[in-house]
Structure 1
Amino acid sequence: MTQLHKKLRKKVVKALYDYRMIEKGDRVLVGISGGADSLSLLNLLSDAFIQSINPFSLIAVHIDLGFQEKRPKKASLLESYFRQLGVEYRIVHTEIYKRAFDPDAVKNPCFICSMYRRRKIYETAHREGCNKIAYGHHRDDIIETLLINIFYGRKIEAMNPVQEVFKGKMQIIRPLVYIEETLLKQFAGELELPVLPKLCPEDGSSRRQKIKGIIDHLQSEERYANIRKNIFRSLYHSNGFIKSIQYKK
């Protein structure tokens, strides 16, 4: 095990402990987009050491959005990786892409895609008897979401490490909350994880990408070198983020 692997595992264990994300006997659905973040999350959660702390079961779920290009190859790559890890998995085939880019759609493609993808995840979690849904949202995602909500939504709100849904019958958990995106990309490269290509025509033009660009621009100046760390620390100590602390031991 490399030093990076140990570092990331330590950060995941801290998040699991701080917010009591996973309890003994939980059944956890890990949402797999095919990106470095979700694949890294699955690798870390399937780690024998983490499994030994509070034994729980895992199921990896990939929602195939319906991009015809490279569709069979994508499924094959993911299935091989799931088998390599020895985890249970489901690949759910959909036509969400067609819905999202329907010329008569009244909402933007990103909204429609997100809504239907989330619905499929919830349906699969219910069908498979899962009480937790783990997403690969990392520290940078949380920072960017905060700024998106401030800039576009006129509210101060971010992703919480633990979020109850369906009146507490399920919880969404974010075990990568303490980990930077750059480390996850490095980890995925180190392990040669089967990261899938981005096929969506909207990729790179979203609000998130614009916010990411603003932060990157500021961080390139020496006086703002710690901007991401400072935003996260401010958020971590704010009342809005602390609502998840109710799960902390």
Structure 2
Amino acid sequence: MIKIKNIGEIHGITEGNYNFYINNNEEKDLIIIENKKDKLKIEIEYNKNNIINALEKIKKLTEIKIVPDEMNDREILSYIQSKGYDKVLWNLIGKAMHQFNMIEEGDKIAVGVSGGKDILVTLNAFVRVKKIAKINFEIIPIHIHPKHDSADCSEIKDYCKKLGLELKVIETNLDDMLFGKEKEKNPCFLCGRIRRGILYRVMKEEGINKLALGHHKDDIIETFLMNILYQGNRNVMKPSYVSEEYGVRVIRPLAFVEEKNIISYARKLSLPIMKSKCPYETSEDSKRLRVKNLIKDLALENEDIRSVVLNSIKDLF
């Protein structure tokens, strides 16, 4: 990946077999890419006020990712929107936001940025709405970082900065609480509860009234089926609800979006995803993984199985 402060910095760069040049004249501005090995020359016209489309073309043609350190509002929106995701992403997010009144004038919305693909897409969705809608609200990205975790969250910080946001990082002793002397029987439940408690505390201190989480359509139906099969109840992840304990509203803008489309979008934009070190996410003993695989098998017979299940539980929202 190549980082640039402005388009002019591309001139003279050599990456692999490719050489990059800028050619500006009265008629048009061009990025010229030469591959002497394959005797190839590519010309890409660009707009100085919006270089994102040109950078996306470079990546598509050369597989070389070039990203600007800073973007203006038009570039941010162009980058976030990308092409081909209106039907499977933005329309569905808009539907959930409208149906459950997720964004209101004057809101202060905390986004629990774990570093995973889902919450980064959620963050993008809020930035997109802020750029195109006439609603005055505030986005506060918050990252809870275990002190013993050596993973670097600088990329997430840089990404938030590029979107015009400042990431708030809170360090915790989460590993000690979960994997201390007494091994927790249900660490996933406790981990989620502790993280949520930390977020609620910060929200109360800073007057934040809503918490956005990255759970998507697959998460909702998997959790419902897990509760049916293993707990014997019909509890669901609601797209929107008020936490009576903490007095804040929790919202899930990706409630109608399928995970496969989130993966596709995240890959296309090369989002700075932090790799999870949690042993329970890929464990063969994971009940969630069993249910996820069950749904995959059922989808081979009926590709709309996720929508069928979700439609059957909407009355519980």
Indicate if the aligned counterparts of 1:27 and 1:56 stay in contact, CA closer than 8 A.
yes
Higher relative contact order (CA 8 A, sep 6+): 1
Partner secondary structure for residue 133 of structure 2: helix
Partners of 1:130 and 1:29 in 2: CA distance? 7
1:109 and 1:48, CA in 2 relative to 1: closer, same or farther beyond 3 A? closer
Are the aligned partners of 2:200 and 2:246 in contact in 1 as well (CA < 8 Å)? no
* Aligned match for 2:140, one of 54, 59, 66: 59
CA distance in structure 1 between the aligned counterparts of 2:188 and 2:247, rounded to whole angstroms: 27
Aligned to 1:235: 313
Corresponding residue for residue 44 of structure 1: 125
Shift of 1:10: 2.1
Of 202-211 and 127-136, the range deviating more from structure 2: 202-211
* Rg (Cα) greater in structure: 2
Matched, 1:184 2:262: yes
CA distance in 1, matches of 2:86, 2:131: 11
Q: Which amino acid aligns with 2:253?
A: P
**Structure 1 position 33 matched with structure 2 position 114:** yes
Alpha carbons of 1:149 and 1:6: their partners in 2 closer, same or farther (altered >3 Å)?
Answer: same
Compute the displacement of 1:132 (Å): 0.4
Relative distance call for 1:46 and 1:151 in structure 2 (3 A) is same
Question: Does the C-alpha gap of structure 1 residues 3 and 49 become closer, same or farther in structure 2, counting only changes over 3 Å?
Answer: farther
Q: CA–CA distance in 2 between the matches of 1:183 and 1:203?
A: 20
**Deviation of 1:161 (Å):** 1.0
How much does 1:106 deviate? 4.8
1:10-53 CA distances to partner (integer Å, 9 max, x unpaired)? 22221111111111100000111111100011011111556624
Give the one of 217, 241, 248 matched to 1:139.
217
Cα separation, partners in 2 of 1:173 and 1:51, compared to 1, 3 Å: farther
Gap runs ≥5 in structure 1: 242-249
Task: Tell me, yes or no, if the aligned pair for 1:149 and 1:155 is still in contact at 8 Å.
Answer: yes
Contact 1:46 1:87 in 2 (8 A): no
1:215 pairs with 2:300: no
Deviation of 1:168 after TM superposition, in Å, equals 7.8
Could you tell me which amino acid in structure 2 is paired with residue 199 of structure 1? Answer: K
> Which deviates more from structure 2 when the two are superposed, residues 53-62 or residues 32-41?
53-62
Could you say what secondary structure the match of 2:293 adopts?
helix
Deviations 1:87-144 (A, max 9, x none): 1321111110121111314543222212211111111111221100000111111101
Amino acid in structure 2 at the alignment position of 1:31: G
Amino acid at match of 1:54: I
Q: Secondary structure at the match of 2:102?
A: coil
1:167 deviates by 6.1
- Report the structure, 1 or 2, having the larger helix content: 1
| Residue 6 (structure 1) aligned to one of 86, 103, 107 | 86
**Counterpart-to-counterpart distance in 1, 2:244 and 2:238:** 16
Tell me which residue corresponds to 1:155.
Answer: 233
Q: Percent identity?
A: 34
Give how far 1:9 is off.
2.1
Cα RMSD over matched residues? 1.8
Q: Could you say which structure has the higher strand fraction? A: 2
- Structure 1 stretches of 4+ with a deviation exceeding 4 A read 48-51
Q: Which structure 2 segments of 5+ residues have no match?
A: 1-80
Aligned length: 234
Q: In 2, are the aligned partners of 1:45 and 1:51 still within 8 Å (CA)?
A: no
Distance 1:50 1:140 in 2: 28
Distance change in 2, residues 1:108/1:59 (3 Å): same
Cα distance per residue 1:168-226 (max 9 Å; x no partner): 83100011111111111111111111011111122212221111011112222xx3322
Counterparts in 2 of 1:50 and 1:112: CA distance versus 1, 3 Å: same
Matched residue of 1:124: which SS? Answer: helix
Question: What's the CA shift for 1:67?
Answer: 4.2
